[in-house]
Structure 1
Amino acid sequence: MREHFQGLGHVAVYTQDIEKSIAFYENLGGEVRGRGAVNAPAGEKKLALVLFGGITLELIQSPTDMPMGEGNVPHFAILVDDLDAAAAEVRAAGVDSFLTPEKKVLPDLFGGLQNWFFTGPSGEQIELLQMLQREMAFT
């Protein structure tokens, strides 16, 4: 299983105002690496990737109010080289907590990506993330 894991993909952070959050991280030396949006049942989620302190933050502004106290970090992502193989190995290790029956393929988001979420033993969400174009990789 380890052969497919390449490192931390990103840390997702909910924000009430994505532009304010971007300005905050840029002021501290961060750099925006991509912007995008995805449709959700309640409306459009605004997204931004910000390289900050050697890691990538995925800033998420939800179309609905999100709790903003402790726990505004909704998931972490593990970068993989082969999403299907990595997911199969996670399943073979006994994990049956994938949140959807199929992976998501988002060819227009951040240069193209595919992902699949599952939960850990305390309900934490873990994203297996494969970038479709190497130049948009998070490293």
Structure 2
Amino acid sequence: MKELYKGLGHVAIYTADMEESIAFYEKIGGSVYKRDGVATPTGEKKLALVEFGGFLLELIEPPAGELVPAGEGSIPHFAVYVDDLDKAAAAIKEAGVISFMTPEKKVLPDTFGGLQNWFFTGPSGEQIELLQML
């Protein structure tokens, strides 16, 4: 069945502030691909697709005053493959991101054949993993 799959479509992230989230992802190298909205009984749900790291993020801002709908699940984090973790982290820090979750990267030589990673957070608390396989 795997031949039916073409790859990752997008990762959906709820945001409390669409403009803040778009600005954040643009600051670290993303770009808006499309924007849209969906009418709901409580108001418009704002949507944006942001190209980032070779895939799309779907940013979702619920109507004003509405919380994330119960039962929609959560995503602990998403990972972006990088060729050079140190260089990628330095560029993100240079862009003004100060939300790295640890002072240093983790090196895990025995996990999945060896990897190093470093997590930081986006404006809505989403965790983003920079991941380099060794």
Q: TM-score normalised to the size of structure 2?
A: 0.48
Higher radius of gyration, 1 or 2 = 2
Higher relative contact order (CA closer than 8 Å, sequence separation 6+):
1
